[in-house]
Structure 1
């Protein structure tokens, strides 16, 4: 299951991570976010050795949401070495597409 992060622990859990981190910016009121949740949780377990996967509730954590200019949900941002390196907006990716995308950043 994907770990939940907040404005308070974002720097420690994401920016200081020694491996790539996928941050799922989501909201409780967002149907596509809810539809993607099982896939995100599964990927957190499947790819646990190579990619850290976390979720950030945009309504409860406006600081990080604004800092990375997240305006649509879901937004998936990959961080490497403390920097955002890639992003996808929306729920249009399949499980296989997400795995390939994340593995390309873990290599």
Structure 2
């Protein structure tokens, strides 16, 4: 868990995508997240977290539906939503925290 604290404790917004490979909506988010990361460059960070490999973290954060997206800024969760989002929507939301 301390590694998680290091991931989210940085100055730029961090978009977390909780997913599994077997979940179709999660899989459809992969290209969207690539677009978001490319559009924002070093102004934000996009991190994908496989729920099957990080069950303890997913449980601690009460991740139920997939995909679950969260934005952290300086270690604090500032936005969270379950379900698919399009790239432009995510970019707009993240820009509010840059």
Is TM-score (shorter-chain normalized) higher than 0.5? yes
What are the within-5 Å matches in structure 2 for residues 1-107 of structure 1? 9-14=3-8, 16-91=9-84, 93-106=85-98
How many pairs does the alignment contain? 98
d(CA) in 2 for partners of 1:69 and 1:43?
24
Unmatched runs of 5 consecutive residues or more in structure 2:
none
Aligned residue in 2 for 1:4:
none
In the TM superposition, structure 1's runs of 4+ consecutive aligned residues that sit over 2 Å from their partners are none
Q: CA RMSD of the aligned region, Å? A: 1.4
Unaligned runs of 5+ in 1: 1-6
TM-score by length of 2: 0.90
CA distance in 2, matches of 1:17, 1:63: 22
Offset of residue 45 of structure 1: 2.0
Deviation at 1:103, TM superposition (A): 0.8
| Cα drift, residue 8 of structure 1 | 6.6
Q: Given the two structures, how large is their TM-score scaled by the length of structure 1?
A: 0.83
Q: 1:38 to 1:8 in 2, by over 3 A?
A: farther
Give deviations 1:25-59, integer Å, cap 9, x for gaps: 00111101111101101211221221111000001
Provide the C-alpha distance between the structure 2 equivalents of 1:97 and 1:12, rounded to a whole number of angstroms: 26
